[in-house]
Amino acid sequence: MPREFAATRDDVDAIAAWTVIRAARALARRLATELEPLDLTPVEFGVLVQLAAADGLSQAELARAVGVRPQSMTSLVTGLHDRGLLDRGTERGRGRQSRIHLTGAGRDLLGRAYPLVHASNRWFGDDPAQSDALVATLRPLLGDTAGSADTVP
């Protein structure tokens, strides 16, 4: 006969992984509010900033770097391309790996968005060492972004 499970709020809050997931969702909503005046989502910001860091990525590489499923990247890239923010190259098609690049408009938008996103470090305290420590703690959880695109959670 199964036992009834009971948990308190303290029990729930003691689960580190669940707390990180809840915090990530709350932070994504907060960041979305910051980026809304620029008509940019946090994931779209991720695409632009990853391309600025490593221009000429394939969609699969970009999906790994941003942390989205490859299937989601097609609509993201199409939307950003249609807005004139990135160039998908001319060698598109089945079996052809095109490289994606930021356009001037994409760099301009990123130049306005980056300070807003970087300012979010202050959400973790006034001392930059606090956000640096948080990044150092969370970074190993991200794993190897050079792995298979199919392994993106």
| Structural domains of the chain, with CATH | 43-151 (1.10.10.10)
The type of residue at 74 is T
How far, in Å, CA of 133 to CA of 99, rounded? 34
Residue 141 pLDDT class (50, 70, 90 cuts): confident
- Residue 142: what pLDDT? 83
How far, in Å, CA of 80 to CA of 77, rounded? 5
Q: What is the pLDDT of residues 27-36, one digit of tens each?
A: 999 999 999 9
Please name the residues in contact with 91: beta carbons below 8 A apart, sequence gap of 6 or more.
97, 98
23: closest CA among 128, 141, 152, 150?
A: 141
* Mean pLDDT of the 59-86 span: 93
Residue 61 class from Cβ within 10 Å (0-12 exposed, 13-18 middle, 19+ buried)?
buried
Q: Under a CB-based contact definition with an 8 Å cutoff, are residues 55 and 102 in contact?
A: yes
Residue 148 pLDDT class (50, 70, 90 cuts): very low
Q: Under a CB-based contact definition with an 8 Å cutoff, are residues 31 and 120 in contact?
A: yes
Whether residue 124 is predicted with pLDDT greater than 60 in this model: the reply is yes
How far, in Å, CA of 65 to CA of 101, rounded? 14
- Residues of the chain above pLDDT 90, percent: 72
The type of residue at 90 is T
Q: Which residue has the tokens 């993201």?
A: 76
Q: For the beta carbon of residue 73, count every other beta carbon within 10 angstroms.
A: 23
**Which residue spans within the chain are E strands per DSSP?**
86-87, 101-102
Whether residue 112 is predicted with pLDDT greater than 80 in this model: the reply is yes
